[in-house]
Structure 1
Amino acid sequence: MTEHTKVDHSSDNLDETMPSTPGPTVLEKSKPRSANMAANKVECNACPVLCQITEGRTGACDRWGNVEGVLTRIDPVVLMRRPVGPPASPALSLQAQGQDAGGGVAVQEAPASTELVPETDLFVSGVGSGTTYPDYKPAPFIVASKANGVDMVTVVTEGIFSYCSFKVKIDTDRYLGPEQSNIRHKGEIVGHVTTAEYGSQMLSLGGVHHLTGGSKKEGRITCDVMMALGNKQAVELSIDGGAQLVVQAGKAPIVDGVEEKRMRVGCGSAAIGIFAKQWFGHTDEVVVVDDHITGVLTEHQAGRCLDIPLSGIKMKGRKSTPGRYFQVANPGNGWGGTDISDPLSIIEGFDPEVARPGLRLLITSTTGEHAEYYELDEALQPQRKPMPAPLQKTVDRIGENCEPSLASVLFLGGAGGSLRAGVTENPIWLTNSIKKSLVNVTCGGAPAYIWAGGGITVMVDVLRMPDNSFGYVPTPAIVAPIEFSMRLSDYERLGGHVADVQAMDDVLARANHRIIDWVDAASPWPIAGKPVLG
């Protein structure tokens, strides 16, 4: 890792365990200087910490360094190549040479001439673009382009987000912990369990109160977790009163040391509705065990519509509507997200006035991972029997209809503060233009959902962003790429910094950069002539 320089003042904000981003190459920035600063240092104004950096070293975030007396963005700005058209020349990728032997910054100069691709085939992302904090001046890149014959502009920057979090959607029926329970990493609280959704458990991680509202250690560790999640790395978490987790974007979650396989097909009632006709004639009763709604075929409306006679089964729990039972067991890691290992434990018995010996009973979970077949004996006690082939086929089909268990990681941040001043002199015009769908907002090129209401609150799937899109500053806060694309005429109307618009050729000539292929083929090209949100 490139050695960094401690801050001459406010050094208590820094910590050697803070995460870092890979580098290096160069993007030049202004050369600020404080009156009491040594001649071989530059002061970095990319965040409020104001590191004073010795020549050949980097600041605390490892993102900015002192290269021959010039404050320099160490990582290359990432450009993305459109998935159509002729391939770009390899000469376009200006890769870093790495560190020198003394731990300093070594960078590669841009070649004198470079074969260029058409500007419409490239998109300048915010990844590695640098910032103009405190944004009293225009964004690092304001790039002109054309789309369908329309003059376009994309304003590119790295936003410093204190007000941000990650929402983690875990597709599993497994119980993770009570709602509102604290989530910890290395003993520090970094988030909480939020409301479960259909077939998924939801976590909220990070946020301004954990970053800045607690102890310095809590803030540092929260920042560490957030940056790792955003950069698609695995993170270990523990839930108070619940499970131990390993989550990683796009990977199956590991719950209490076991990798999850399936997301449930639906609740117990939904499973009854889906498979009732397939069970008809092959069994007399079906119980689908679920933590939330356990279904009973013969009482359920689907069973009544098929004229399946009642079985006389008596279930534990609280009866809701016919054939739907709540709270048959406690949440857990057993059958259907409950704490049971014996499915008969949720059955109180059978009504002798209705049930009969030989009655056939299938009990299955909502994923099909657990299933047993029983027949009632003369005392109306269920006796386990081999699973008949037609019923095994339906159990297999339940599993077939379960999607793979995955963890999805969504970045949620408020693009406020002075970031907007880097786009326009009048930020409310930018906000209003976004709400009117005149401006397309992306994060690392990935489409961003804009939340309703005031402000510019963006949400984006990190899997659709380039690798290592997220950084940090040791205030602490998360650094994330953001781009605003619009028609040139609209940019002029919203009071944009039109005088600072530059051609793609100029970006390629002056900025060290690397070009990657478009990350997600399903993502629309951000510069479409007619920007559409989300």
Structure 2
Amino acid sequence: MNAPEKIRCDACPVMCYIAPGQTGACDRYGNLAGRIVRCDPLTILDRAAASGTPLIPFAAGAPDGEWDGEIARPAEEFVTGIGAGTTYPDYKPAPFIVSREVEGADVVTVVTEAIFSYCGAKLKIDTDRHLGPERAIVRAEGEPVGHVTTAEYGSQMLSLGGVDHLTGGTKTEGKATCATLLALCNREPVELTIDDGATLTAQAGHPPIVNGTPEHRMRVGCGSATIGMFASQWHGLVDEVVVVDDHITGVVSEHQAGKVLAWPPTGIRIRGHRSTPGRYFRVSEPGQGWGGTRLADPTEILAPFEARKGAHPGLTLLMVSTTGEEHAYYVLDDTLTPRPHPLPAVLAPTVALIAENCEPSLTTVLFMAGAGGSLRAGVTQNPVRLTRAVQSQRTRLTCGGAPVYVWPGGGITFMVDVTRLPENAFGYVPTPALVAPLEFTMPRADYLALGGHAPSIRTLADIRSTGGEYTAGPARRLP
């Protein structure tokens, strides 16, 4: 007996031969009765979702999703690239080129799923904790998947993915990178380890977990900024305040904010590199302690107090971190040595005020990619015109219905916040590469002027009723 005939899927460069009733390597396309069928549905967003209506599935069996409908405006319905299929790597018109009326204007939206080998994720981790030195390798499952970049205001930045990790290293590295990007973009938790640094659990829209401890607060500012904001709250309640911070540690009596309040000198001395008055750099190596330093005991940054400059027995000192999570109160003894004492009740509200002004710590994941190749040819017969139309904002680019930031310069390089897309909007192909939805929206006249594929334009009603090349039959994963 002859084996059932396999058919070739041309939805990605892998070009799988798929047996009847089976899916390809990506689990996104299958052979159903001799026809390649998309295993999850095209997604249409409905603005009525703001009032509780779920996502409108293109075909039966689609899971309900949550969506506020806002970014689908001004149209009542918006066809996303999620579940549309792709034209890569061969030229053919985009899977769906949809005509619809928006406030009296004839608008065309070109819908496709793009396959990105040139893609990555930029992570913003809200924490004062030291994650690792700049340029340190970030690993997933032991494989290098990115690196630490710059520290920003209250956050550490990571750059993950890119073509070198996806396809330029070992096969294991490429698979680990693809799996990491896919999980992060679909808002799933991922454990990362950083060379000479921390272990991090990152999940878009959730607090980061550093070395097993969830972060709760993003610092209100550096030590100097904290003093600038709250010096008046401490005035008259304590003799000196030091806000400990890995970047800029502040001392209120020396700080300009203290000078404005006529704060008397205290004879305090800080071990560190003085910048401007009341601002000190490099008081400690970075770490997991106070204000992102390695300090468990903040008095390590204090040099002996000077009596000739105002220090005296009984002088009071508050030391606090930039989130208020660490604080301690001291009184100078007869040798001008700070001794710990319970925090006076009168100072407790000032520490709580710092904490109140801290934003919740979150992990932000931005998917970043460049749209090129035959993807653009699937939109127009003259691809450079599409690039120029997007760059000039005559054509609106969205990703799964979400607004994107398009980088200036050549090409269509964009970033999108993954929490703005419906759930599970991203997929993959085992080249390895990520699959992401894209939509190009413009007036019909502009689309035709770009050299668009006029014979392939269809109405939204037609798409809803008859589907498309990869959407025949119920939307389901084949057995």
Tell me the distance in 2 between the aligned counterparts of 1:452 and 1:461: 18
1:92-491 → structure 2 map (5 Å cutoff): 94-96=59-61, 120-354=75-309, 355-491=311-447
1:160 maps to amino acid: I
Contact 1:135 / 1:421 at 8 angstroms: preserved in 2?
no
Partner of 1:52: 17
2:404 maps to amino acid: A
Partner of 2:67: none
Tell me the distance in 2 between the aligned counterparts of 1:366 and 1:297: 14
Contact 1:95 / 1:513 at 8 angstroms: preserved in 2?
no
2:303 maps to amino acid: E
**Match of 1:429, SS?**
helix
Contact 1:142 / 1:154 at 8 angstroms: preserved in 2?
yes
Aligned-pair CA distance for 1:417: 1.4
Partner of 2:70: none
Aligned-pair CA distance for 1:95: 2.6
Cα displacement string for residues 489-514 of structure 1 (whole angstroms, at most 9, x for unaligned residues): 11111111122110011110112599
Aligned-pair CA distance for 1:84: 6.8
Query: What is the TM-score normalised by the length of structure 1?
Result: 0.83
Query: What is the TM-score normalised by the length of structure 2?
Result: 0.92
Aligned-pair CA distance for 1:83: 3.2
1:339 maps to amino acid: R
**Match of 2:218, SS?**
coil
Aligned-pair CA distance for 1:386: 2.1
Aligned-pair CA distance for 1:390: 2.8
1:68 matched to 2:33: yes
Tell me the distance in 2 between the aligned counterparts of 1:447 and 1:392: 43
- The 1:86–1:302 alpha-carbon spacing in structure 2 relative to 1, beyond 3 Å, is closer
Report how many aligned residue pairs link the two structures: 458
Aligned-pair CA distance for 1:122: 1.7
- The 1:391–1:441 alpha-carbon spacing in structure 2 relative to 1, beyond 3 Å, is same
1:42 maps to amino acid: I
Tell me the distance in 1 between the aligned counterparts of 2:154 and 2:344: 28
Tell me the distance in 2 between the aligned counterparts of 1:276 and 1:339: 25
2:358 maps to amino acid: C
Aligned-pair CA distance for 1:74: 1.3
Partner of 1:523: none
Cα displacement string for residues 269-308 of structure 1 (whole angstroms, at most 9, x for unaligned residues): 0001000111111111110000010001111111111111
Tell me the distance in 1 between the aligned counterparts of 2:410 and 2:54: 44
**Match of 1:227, SS?**
helix
Tell me the distance in 2 between the aligned counterparts of 1:146 and 1:347: 69
**Match of 1:286, SS?**
strand
Contact 1:79 / 1:513 at 8 angstroms: preserved in 2?
no
Contact 1:77 / 1:513 at 8 angstroms: preserved in 2?
no
Tell me the distance in 1 between the aligned counterparts of 2:351 and 2:362: 22
Tell me the distance in 2 between the aligned counterparts of 1:481 and 1:86: 25
Aligned-pair CA distance for 1:198: 0.3
Tell me the distance in 1 between the aligned counterparts of 2:345 and 2:140: 47
**Match of 1:177, SS?**
coil
Contact 2:41 / 2:58 at 8 angstroms: preserved in 1?
no
**Match of 1:353, SS?**
helix
- The 1:194–1:396 alpha-carbon spacing in structure 2 relative to 1, beyond 3 Å, is same
Instruction: Flag structure 1 segments of 5+ consecutive residues without an equivalent.
Output: 1-36, 99-118, 515-534
Identity of aligned residues (%): 58
Aligned-pair CA distance for 1:97: 9.3
2:210 maps to amino acid: V
2:93 maps to amino acid: P
Tell me the distance in 2 between the aligned counterparts of 1:190 and 1:466: 25
**Match of 1:502, SS?**
strand
Tell me the distance in 2 between the aligned counterparts of 1:370 and 1:85: 42
Contact 2:111 / 2:440 at 8 angstroms: preserved in 1?
yes
- The 1:488–1:86 alpha-carbon spacing in structure 2 relative to 1, beyond 3 Å, is farther
- The 1:320–1:272 alpha-carbon spacing in structure 2 relative to 1, beyond 3 Å, is same
Contact 1:93 / 1:513 at 8 angstroms: preserved in 2?
no
Tell me the distance in 1 between the aligned counterparts of 2:464 and 2:188: 31
Partner of 2:69: none
- The 1:439–1:289 alpha-carbon spacing in structure 2 relative to 1, beyond 3 Å, is same
Instruction: Flag structure 2 segments of 5+ consecutive residues without an equivalent.
Output: 64-73, 474-479
1:258 maps to amino acid: T
Cα displacement string for residues 169-199 of structure 1 (whole angstroms, at most 9, x for unaligned residues): 1111111111100011111001101101100
Contact 1:78 / 1:513 at 8 angstroms: preserved in 2?
no
1:363 maps to amino acid: M
Tell me the distance in 1 between the aligned counterparts of 2:464 and 2:52: 16
Tell me the distance in 2 between the aligned counterparts of 1:196 and 1:207: 20
Tell me the distance in 1 between the aligned counterparts of 2:346 and 2:99: 64
Tell me the distance in 1 between the aligned counterparts of 2:221 and 2:55: 49
Contact 2:119 / 2:161 at 8 angstroms: preserved in 1?
yes
Aligned-pair CA distance for 1:92: 6.2
